[in-house]
Amino acid sequence: MPGTALILGGSGRFGRHATGAFQAAGWTTRQFNRKADDLDRAAQGVDVIVAAWNPSYEHWADTVPTLHARIRKAALANDATVILPGNVYVFGPDTPAPWGADTPHRAENPLGRIRRDMETAYRRDSVRTILLRAGDFIDTTASGNWLDRMMLPTVPKGALTYPGRTDIPHAWAYLPDLTRAAVALAERRATLTRFEDVPFPGYIFTGDEMAAILTRIRGREIRVKPMKWWPLRLAQPVMPLVKHLFEMRYLWDTPHSLEGGKFATLLPDFTATPPETAFSELQIDPD
């Protein structure tokens, strides 16, 4: 049943698509302005809080605990359900895939620990939470993520620039599908436990498979080109973000996927967008 959703981070990738998905399903949405609004007041009377705030990596340690403490407090005061976009950082490089709701969280690197602690806090505080865990985002517009910033710009020249091994599976989530799933889960929140960890199966591609899809779509061969990491290393002294890109580099060389059994049980009628359709909507400069 539609209700009212408060969107935190509505101008970001997940928040922007979540706003559209909730509105398309007949929900009332409220956008939160971090500069002008008070979260406790803004959350009054809402059914769902979409926790799409996502500061840049270099600010995670200072801001993520504080931001999510505020969200938990507001959610508990209103018995609202938090839609929490999750990622795969919590598992670490030595955990065999597929990764599911019961897979141990073994990450010990700084960003992985921050995510582990944040998720633990929602469970510990008994906040009504739907943690929708996904791989890397596929957006419909250029939004500064790995795909549109690092990988796709060379496609018009016949190459997909790939940051790691091209022969191992990597988890991806098409944002219109991911946020549509968030709405569907929100609408059946009354049937869920207080804390639901729901892996979103999304797409599982190797780099070679991704290049093959782009080849079919564009009607010309798209080869895979290894990404050079050394320019990022040179930029690290003046770009604090870069050290965290290296911290998470292991994901490009670690085979991984998200187990979809729980998702299929909760949303048996969910139909994913075909990969060719999703990739056809990517904003890539013409040849």
For residue 286, the model assigns a pLDDT of 60
- Condensed to tens digits (0 to 9), the pLDDT of residues 52-85 reads 999 999 999 999 999 999 999 999 999 999 999 9
Give the pLDDT score at 282. 82
Residue predicted with more confidence, 238 or 163: 163
> In the predicted model, is pLDDT for residue 141 greater than 70?
yes
Dist CA 255 CA 272 (whole Å): 22
pLDDT of residue 35: 87
- Which band of pLDDT confidence, cut at 50, 70 and 90, is reported for residue 287? low
Instruction: Provide the 3-class DSSP secondary structure of residue 157.
Output: helix
pLDDT-based confidence at residue 1 (cuts at 50, 70, 90): confident
| Residue corresponding to tokens 């048996």 | 268
pLDDT at position 2 is 86
Angle between helices 60-78 and 110-124 (to 10 degrees): 10
Residues 223-266: tens digit of each pLDDT: 999 999 999 899 888 889 899 999 999 999 999 999 999 999 99
Note the pLDDT tens digit of each residue in 194-209.
999 999 999 999 999 9
